Amino acid sequence: MSAILRAQGLGKRYGRRWALSDCNLEIPAGKVVGLVGPNGAGKTTLLHLAVGLLTPTAGTIEVLGDRPAASPAQLGRVGFVAQETPAYATLSVADHLSLGAWLNPGWDDKLAKRRIEGLGLDLKQKAGKLSGGERAQLALTLAIAKRPELLLLDEPVAGLDPLARREFLQGLMEIVAEHGVSVVLSSHLVADLERVCDYLVVLVASRVRVAGEVEELLASHRRLTGPRRDPGTLPASQEVIEESHTDRQSTLLVRTEGPILDPAWTIEEISLEDLVLAYMRQREDTDRGHRSKLEVLR
Amino acid sequence: MIEFHLDSRSGVSAYLQLVHQVRQALRLGLLFEGEQLPTVKHVATSLAINPNTVLKAYRELEYQGLVAPRPGIGTFVTKTLSDASLGAHGLLRQDLKRWLAKARRAGLDEESIEALFQDTFRSAAQENVA
């Protein structure tokens, strides 16, 4: 399967600070990708690089097999909803649709009108008077009506109340089911992503910590609890992501492809949230961090 | 037609929850042979979950011989689970009751019984995988 997004050694520096460094990713098409990490981890930078709003300081990025924003055609293939789902406050909903139709050669006006109607939005309403949830839905409508192959969404539900959040994700899943568009959406909340994403990229302190199919990630990570033990004595195939010890007990979060045979351990599956949190807590420059990055490249 | 729901705190993956709910509905006679399951788009939209999750659940049910897709129309129930399983169900329940009585006689309280059951259940499931 072809990659929708391929990054090699990708980095972006602002002055002396690297907002994103040594980013290697290969995201397959047809996925809903969750880009998760704490605020300031580089999520927005990566998305802006993907949409062509920024140019890389180092490395390369390809989106749908081409350089981002390389041509008007390339721009038309990527839909983007920026953080806080901006809209023009003094323009009406109808004005936004006209603007979308005028700016995008592939504009699907029927689709746009149908969505706006389905949402119960008033075409004459000024965007500045819309609620946060309605504005987010308007922004999503504009992004999808240009019929992109890839939809990039930067923290689309961050500012929304739980109901608006759910409604937005429902709308997004309807679009995915109907048009089969690939999606990358960022969030600092795993709970938002757990239902909708089938691929996950964890970004912390400008680096990719782990990336992969959600199912494979969940299948390859286990929590082991047992008598106190030095993690160094584990089989080489078991990579320790996180460890904690009391006088008598050790609790480890390990990544392994094979079965865990040692009968001393109580083995538990972990939730996606625990998995993400464990990678977020990992310190940057440990050996472990590097090893997990190498595995990501596999 | 059945309506799915998801328990996000159960720790059971969404696709398995969907599979269980269909099996449960078949067993309880809430879903009949020939009836249509909700469309993938409908389930994905109403639950706000990835359409691939729904597809995966439907494929698993198909693999279990319970449903069959009709291209361009939807997915339909091809088999019922209600009557066949009831008899076996009763026997199993009796066995379990006997076992529970034994466990109590051995001095186990409810929590220990539950822990023992969970532990055995999990290790048996893992043996099956391995």
Q: What share of chain A is helix, strand, coil (3-state, %, to 5)?
A: 35, 30, 35
A vs B, Cβ pairs < 8 A, gives 50
Q: Which of A93, A14, A99 is nearest to A48 (CA)?
A: A14
Structure tokens at A88: 């023009």
Distance from the Cα of A198 to chain B's closest Cα (Å) equals 7
Q: Exposed, middle or buried by CB within 10 Å (0-12, 13-18, 19+), for B62?
A: middle
Please state which of the ranges A193-202, A245-254, B72-81 shows the lowest mean pLDDT: B72-81
Give the C-alpha separation, A176 to A154, whole Å: 17
A60 and A10 Cβ atoms separated by less than 8 Å: yes
Confidence (pTM)? 0.81
On whether any CB of chain A is under 8 Å from the CB of B128, the answer is no
In this predicted model, what pLDDT tens digit does every residue of A104-153 receive, in sequence order?
Answer: 988 999 999 999 999 999 999 999 999 999 999 999 999 999 999 999 99
Cross-chain residue pair B46–A218, CB shorter than 8 Å: no
Strands A78-81 and A150-153: parallel
User: In what helix (H) or strand (E) does residue A23 lie, and over which residues does it extend?
Assistant: strand A17-28
Q: Does this complex have an ipTM over 0.85? A: no
Give the C-alpha separation, A237 to A256, whole Å: 6
Distance from the Cα of B15 to chain A's closest Cα (Å) equals 10
Cross-chain residue pair A170–B48, CB shorter than 8 Å: yes
B12 — pLDDT class (breaks 50, 70, 90): confident
Q: Is A82 helix (H, G, I), strand (E, B) or coil?
A: coil
Please state which of the ranges A31-35, B20-24, B26-30, B66-70 shows the lowest mean pLDDT: B26-30
Predicted confidence (pLDDT) at residue A222 exceeds the cutoff of 80: yes
What CATH number should be reported for the domain whose range is B14-77? 1.10.10.10
Nearest by CB to residue A195, choosing from B40, B48, B129, is: B48
B88 — pLDDT class (breaks 50, 70, 90): low
- Give the count of beta carbons closer than 10 Å to the beta carbon of residue A25: 21
Q: Which of A3, A16, A5 is nearest to A206 (CA)?
A: A16
Give the C-alpha separation, A13 to A57, whole Å: 6
Taking the domains of chain A in order of start, what are their residue ranges? 3-205, 215-297
What is the torsion angle, in degrees rounded to the nearest 10, for the CA atoms of residue B35, residue B37, residue B38 and residue B40?
Answer: -150
Distance from the Cα of A222 to chain B's closest Cα (Å) equals 13
Cα A82 to the chain's mean position, in Å?
13
Taking the domains of chain B in order of start, what are their residue ranges? 14-77, 82-129
Helices (H) and strands (E) in chain A, counts: 10, 13
Structure tokens at A126: 């000024």
To 5 degrees, how large is the angle CA A72–CA A200–CA A173? 65
B48 and A169 Cβ atoms separated by less than 8 Å: yes
On whether any CB of chain B is under 8 Å from the CB of A72, the answer is no
Decide which of 2.50.20.10, 3.40.50.300, 3.30.70.150, 2.60.40.10 is the CATH code for A3-205. Answer: 3.40.50.300
